[in-house]
Amino acid sequence: MAYKLNVNGKVHQADVDPDTPLLWTLRDTLGILGPKYGCGIAQCGACTVHVDGQPIRSCVTPVSAVTGRITTIEGVGASAVGKKVQAAWTELDVAQCGYCQPGQIMSATALLTSNPKPTDADIDAAMSGNICRCATYTRIRAAIKRASGQKEA
Amino acid sequence: MTRELTGASRREFLTAASASGLVISFAVASKAEAQAGGLSRINAYVQVAPDGWVTITNKNPEIGQGIKTMLPMLIAEELDIPWEKVRIDQADSDPAVYGRQFAGGSMATPLHWEDHRRVGAVARAMLIQAAAQAWNCPAGECTTTAGVVLHKASNRKATYASLATQCAGITPPDPKTLPLKDPRDYKIIGQAKVQYDTPKIVTGQPLFGIDVVRPGMLFAAYEKAPVFGARVASADLAAAQKVKGVRKAFVVEGDPKAVQPQPGQIGGGLLPGVAVVADTWWAAKKGRDQLRTSWQEHPTSAQSSAAFAAKARELSTAKPQRTPRNDGDVDAALKSAAKTVEAAYAYPFISHATLEPQNCTAEWKDGKLEIWAPTQNPEPGRQLCAKTLGIKPEDITIHMTRCGGGFGRRLANDYMVEAAWIAREAGAPVKLLWTREDDMRHDIYRPGGFHYFRGGLDAAGNLVAFHDHFVSFGEGTGFAPSAGMGPTEYPARFVPNFRIDVSTMPLGVPTGPLRAPGSNALAFVFQSFIDEMAHAAGADPLAFQLKLLGDKPTVGEAPALYGAGRMAGVLKAVGEMSGWANRSKLPKGEGMGVACYYSHLGYFAEVCHVAVAADGAVKVKKVWVAADVGRQIINPHGAMNQVQGSVLDGLSEALHQKITIENGAAVEGNFDSYPLMRINEAPPVEVKWVITDNNPTGLGEPALPPAIPALTNAIFAATGKRIRSLPIDPAMLKT
């Protein structure tokens, strides 16, 4: 089946089976490698992308179920919030290995878009779906606070 | 990736023994070669561009420990170049040029603190020499500042960029003869530097093994037996090949014995299995799902965690198989002790669970093999591939990609040899990717273990007798990989009557190093039992620890030297920063625990503050860390991240992690059954660097081990219940 996908403002054509997860369509068919494979069962959040601004786990979302505009880590900097989040992630040097961070940044951007001044509890709720195996959680929290203009500790 | 050095230039590499005993290489390339690519190569690590940018090569694998930034900082400091003008290049695996290239043992700092600064100093001396020759003045009259050579007497200056082309004809000086900077003059070392790859990480650019793309590349899935090493009995290859996009499905004979490492290797080799190669990874996986593979009977298929535990109990009361340490007379001392304590401790198998599952890309061309691998240890991978595939090691090129976590898992190269084999069979470049379930069920696990302790106190509350019957895994007189314990495990040498007995059980499960191998389990059991003895003595656990350490600054000699004075220093520091003395004021259900541990040349003491709810739920409120890794923190940004991450990693192990063995196989396969700590559980971690006049040492591991007993000791303080088995079971903490 041929699917038209709007990814980061550009329309792509992907000829894949309907049950192919969006993650593998992005990675192997379209060559958009930012979203990462970590678990395949929506447990780790490394594959997080936005569809119409909402964070989804692309590893369990069949390409046939996607109708909206897709944003990946490669395109999230086009929004003011995404850009701020990326800047905070850089200034605080959140990453260790960095593998989960595209998913973390996508979740954090979605959080700050809907809730510009999240509390610690809001951060816990929005970010608990994203595992960081290196456990950079202290800095993830600080970077979200910084990007939202709040005190970091 | 590093520009390929030609055979000619490689022959011209000089090697020099560094102060640390490692070999470092200095290129003396011919002029033409030194100029290749528009860059002037001064030595194997340093290239200067005409626009003044300096490219520094990082020799070791980057696994998230920040090495790609930290090692070049050492070179840049002595080269005297502004950090803002540095680009960093990742070396390929090339031991002739770079010596051993690996990420393990928190060894990069102790191994390269000296030699990497000397690499920079050598390049700087050659640039000075080039200027002195041009100006016809003594090199000793020249100085440098920020990438410029100066001759103050004649008021002349020249940029490194303008001088670099002249370095090709200059013989490098003996690195040992060069003076190094006074630390007071450091401009880069000691400054917080953002990881070089961070801008690429936050924008999702391809960096990792899983991101490698080659022209004409196919994708592979590889199915192995749940019971480690079992052979394929049957597989429906035709059904797999019917799946759209599947190119080829085939059985790989492999070697059932490759579960265990060969000499010089960590982890196993090419195990039997079934490979499916397809146009996309999803197609390969769908093809694999059609295989309905059955497996041959295997001798270890009856092994289980439950049976290991039962057998360990049985062995604990039997005569031990060996006694690696026996100081004084433990039995007599226990008999005459004023108070004795007995306790049985256990910890499970656990998995590395690197977030990037094991993967590798391999390509064959004209009988030669090219590999792109997220590996912590490329050279043994080269040897493994050469031996398994029957080719020459020199016909294999290994590019090291950034690794999405390592934790010791990628010291093994099983995924590398699988990719190489499958690519040769497929006749195309192949990216092999394991599923999460493959990864979790085919790990080299941190081995479980069992400790049966007895301790005795004299009337004054001194620890006078200590006995451990350690029941572990292994055969004959050897331990299974990473299942051992040395005869100097603390508090050996600090207790007059001290005995370690050992008994082992055979094991069919592959094991290997996991972050702070050995220590990640031993710290829990020893530091918990010491805490038990402190409470039995009615003592403040921190004061009891200080008393046990005694007054001598060091005990024993390298490599078994224990810096008791350094440990006392961090214990005192963590007591102060955590408000340990005021812990009695904590509300009911809360408590603080302390633990200390020496590993990987670092001295760490940690205090954990925990709250335990009526339903047994454990909430870690804060962890304080006092760390002594010598006189210099090289990159405070990275160093802090390593310590905070290590502590949370340890807490995650203690709270959640367990691999259960049933029917010879690992049960847990993904993060639903093998949870890792998430942000809502992560406490703040406050770190203090205790600076001592010792050479700097590494931070990838040593903060982890004491975090676990600090937590379990805090739970005891909060509840009066002693955690003697991991992971922590909240049901036993219910009130």
Residue B603 Cα distances to A47, B70, B487, B698, angstroms = 38, 21, 19, 11
**Which pLDDT score is estimated for A104?**
98
pLDDT at B689 over 70: yes
pLDDT at B220 over 70: yes
Instruction: Say yes or no for a CB contact (<8 Å) between B194 and A93.
Output: yes
Residue numbers in A near B648 (CB within 8 A): 135, 137-138
Third-level CATH fold of A2-71:
Ubiquitin-like (UB roll) (3.10.20)
**Which pLDDT score is estimated for B40?**
87
Task: Find residues 77-136 of chain A whose CB sits inside 8 Å of chain B.
Answer: 77, 86, 89-91, 93, 95-102, 105, 123-125, 127-128, 130-136
Q: Which helix (H) or strand (E) holds B608?
A: strand B602-612
Instruction: Say yes or no for a CB contact (<8 Å) between B213 and A24.
Output: no
Question: How far does the CA of residue B725 sit from the closest CA of chain A (Å)?
Answer: 23
Question: How far does the CA of residue B253 sit from the closest CA of chain A (Å)?
Answer: 28
- Facing B202 at nearest CB: one of A35, A89, A153: A89
Mean pLDDT of B627-656: 98
Instruction: Say yes or no for a CB contact (<8 Å) between A133 and B405.
Output: yes
Instruction: Say yes or no for a CB contact (<8 Å) between B679 and A99.
Output: no
Question: How far does the CA of residue B39 sit from the closest CA of chain A (Å)?
Answer: 29
Bridge partner list, B611: B590, B619
Bridge partner list, A12: A5
CA B550 to chain centre: 31
- B31-65 pLDDT, tens digit per residue, is 555 565 678 899 999 999 999 999 999 999 999 99
The answer to whether B19 and B118 are in contact (CB under 8 A) is yes
Tell me the residue type at B459. Answer: A
Strands across the sheet with B685-689, in order?
B590-599, B602-612, B618-628, B685-689
Residue numbers in A near B403 (CB within 8 A): 97
Residue B301 Cα distances to B228, B229, B236, B478, B700, angstroms = 8, 10, 23, 22, 36
**Which pLDDT score is estimated for B22?**
38
Question: How far does the CA of residue A52 sit from the closest CA of chain B (Å)?
Answer: 19
β pairing state of A10-15 and B602-612: unpaired
Report CA torsion sign: A100, A102, A105, A109: negative
Which ranges constitute the DSSP H helices of B445-585?
519-536, 541-549, 564-578
Tell me the residue type at B317. Answer: T
**3-class secondary structure per residue, B218-286:** EEEEEEECCCCCCCEEECCHHHHHHCCCEEEEEEECCCHHHHCCCCCCCCCCCCCEEEEEECCHHHHHH
- B294-341 pLDDT, tens digit per residue, is 999 999 999 999 999 999 999 999 999 999 999 999 999 999 999 999
Instruction: Say yes or no for a CB contact (<8 Å) between A90 and B194.
Output: yes
Task: Find residues 35-64 of chain A whose CB sits inside 8 Å of chain B.
Answer: 35-41, 43-44, 46
Bridge partner list, B43: B46
The helix/strand count (H/E) of chain A reads as 5, 5
Locate CATH 1.10.150.120 in chain A: 77-147
Among residues B304, B305, B302, the alpha carbon closest in space to that of B346 is found at B305
- A56-65 pLDDT, tens digit per residue, is 999 999 999 9
Percent of chain B at pLDDT > 90 equals: 93
Mean pLDDT of B575-586: 98
The answer to whether B690 and B569 are in contact (CB under 8 A) is yes
pLDDT at B6 over 60: no
> What confidence category does residue A33 fall into, taking pLDDT thresholds of 50, 70 and 90?
very high
Range among B5-9, B24-28, B203-207 rated most confident: B203-207
CB atoms within 10 A of CB B589: 15
Question: How far does the CA of residue A14 sit from the closest CA of chain B (Å)?
Answer: 12
Q: How many inter-chain contacts (A to B, CB under 8 Å) are there? A: 177
Instruction: Say yes or no for a CB contact (<8 Å) between B355 and A100.
Output: yes
Q: What beta strand segments (E) does B63-203 contain?
A: 86-90, 142-145, 148-151, 156-159
- B352-385 pLDDT, tens digit per residue, is 999 999 999 999 999 999 999 999 999 999 999 9
> What confidence category does residue A30 fall into, taking pLDDT thresholds of 50, 70 and 90?
very high
- Facing A138 at nearest CB: one of B644, B671, B680: B644
**Which pLDDT score is estimated for B3?**
35
pLDDT at B249 over 90: yes
- Facing A135 at nearest CB: one of B202, B403, B649: B649
pLDDT at B23 over 60: no
> How far apart (Å, rounded) are the C-alpha atoms in residues A95 and B69?
13
Third-level CATH fold of A77-147:
DNA polymerase; domain 1 (1.10.150)
Angle (nearest 5°) at CA B57 between B53 and B61:
140
Locate CATH 3.10.20.30 in chain A: 2-71
Residue numbers in A near B402 (CB within 8 A): 97-98
Kindly tell me the burial class for residue B721, based on how many C-beta atoms sit within 10 Å of its own C-beta (0-12, 13-18, 19 or more). middle
pLDDT at B7 over 90: no
**Which pLDDT score is estimated for B36?**
59
Listed in sequence order, the residues at least 6 apart from B346 whose beta carbon sits closer than 8 Å to its beta carbon are B309, B312, B448, B449, B450, B451, B724, B725, B726
CB atoms within 10 A of CB B596: 27
Residue B168 Cα distances to A86, A150, B42, B126, B139, angstroms = 42, 54, 7, 9, 17
Nearest-Cα residue of chain A relative to residue B402: A97
DSSP B33-66: HHTGGG-EEEETTEEE-TTS-EEEEE-SPPSSS-
Residue numbers in B near A105 (CB within 8 A): 202
> Is B451 in a helix, a strand, or coil?
strand
Instruction: Say yes or no for a CB contact (<8 Å) between B677 and A39.
Output: no
Which domains, from first to last, does chain B contain? 7-178 (3.30.365.10), 217-298+354-441 (3.30.365.10), 305-350+445-733 (3.30.365.10)
Q: Is the ipTM of this complex over 0.90?
A: yes
Kindly calculate the radius of gyration of chain A based on its CA atoms and give it in whole angstroms.
Answer: 15
Residue numbers in A near B652 (CB within 8 A): 135
**Which pLDDT score is estimated for B2?**
36
Listed in sequence order, the residues at least 6 apart from B107 whose beta carbon sits closer than 8 Å to its beta carbon are B600, B698
Report CA torsion sign: B557, B561, B564, B569: positive
**Which pLDDT score is estimated for B38?**
75
**Which pLDDT score is estimated for B143?**
97
How long, in residues, is chain A?
153
> How far apart (Å, rounded) are the C-alpha atoms in residues B597 and B613?
28
Residue numbers in B near A147 (CB within 8 A): none
> How far apart (Å, rounded) are the C-alpha atoms in residues B467 and B115?
43
**Which pLDDT score is estimated for B37?**
66
Instruction: Say yes or no for a CB contact (<8 Å) between B402 and A98.
Output: yes
> What confidence category does residue B223 fall into, taking pLDDT thresholds of 50, 70 and 90?
very high
In this predicted model, which residue has the larger pLDDT, B35 or B393?
A: B393
> Is B692 in a helix, a strand, or coil?
coil
Among residues B102, B188, B111, the alpha carbon closest in space to that of B695 is found at B111
